Amino acid sequence: MLDLTARHYLISGRVQGVGFRYFAEHSARARGIAGWVRNLSDGRVEVFAQGRADRVKEFEQDLRRGPSRAEVRGFEAMDAAPLQMVRFEIR
């Protein structure tokens, strides 16, 4: 991919127990994003995403909103180095 972008996210608020990981997986796969999502022991959700820059930006907007039962209160986004990944998974 010529326009490959990778981003790392830490999302806080009411983001565990509300389907956030499944929401992220669905959004990523619909946009052709590779990477992963996982719950952290401190209550946050961590996401790594890579793909075309425009699609990663759209995915980031989805993460900022979250699923209907979530309440995103904190959102950190950092550039990351691309990894050898071809699909998106829940960890």
44 counts as catalytic? no
39 counts as catalytic? yes
Tokens of 62: 């989805």
pLDDT bracket for residue 1 (50, 70, 90): very low
pLDDT bracket for residue 2 (50, 70, 90): low
Choose, from 14, 38, 39, 52, the residue flagged as catalytic: 39
Rounded Cα gap, residues 39 and 31, in angstroms: 22
pLDDT at residue 38 in the model: 98
Choose, from 21, 31, 55, 65, the residue flagged as catalytic: 21
pLDDT tens per residue, range 29-58: 999 999 999 999 999 999 999 999 999 999
- Amino acid identity, residue 34? A
Out of 2.170.120.30, 3.20.20.140, 3.30.70.100, 3.20.20.30, the CATH code matching 4-82 is 3.30.70.100
Rounded Cα gap, residues 51 and 57, in angstroms: 10
pLDDT tens per residue, range 17-31: 999 999 999 999 999
Q: Name the average pLDDT for the chain.
A: 95
Helix ranges, 1-91 (H): 20-31, 53-65
Domain ranges across the chain: 4-82
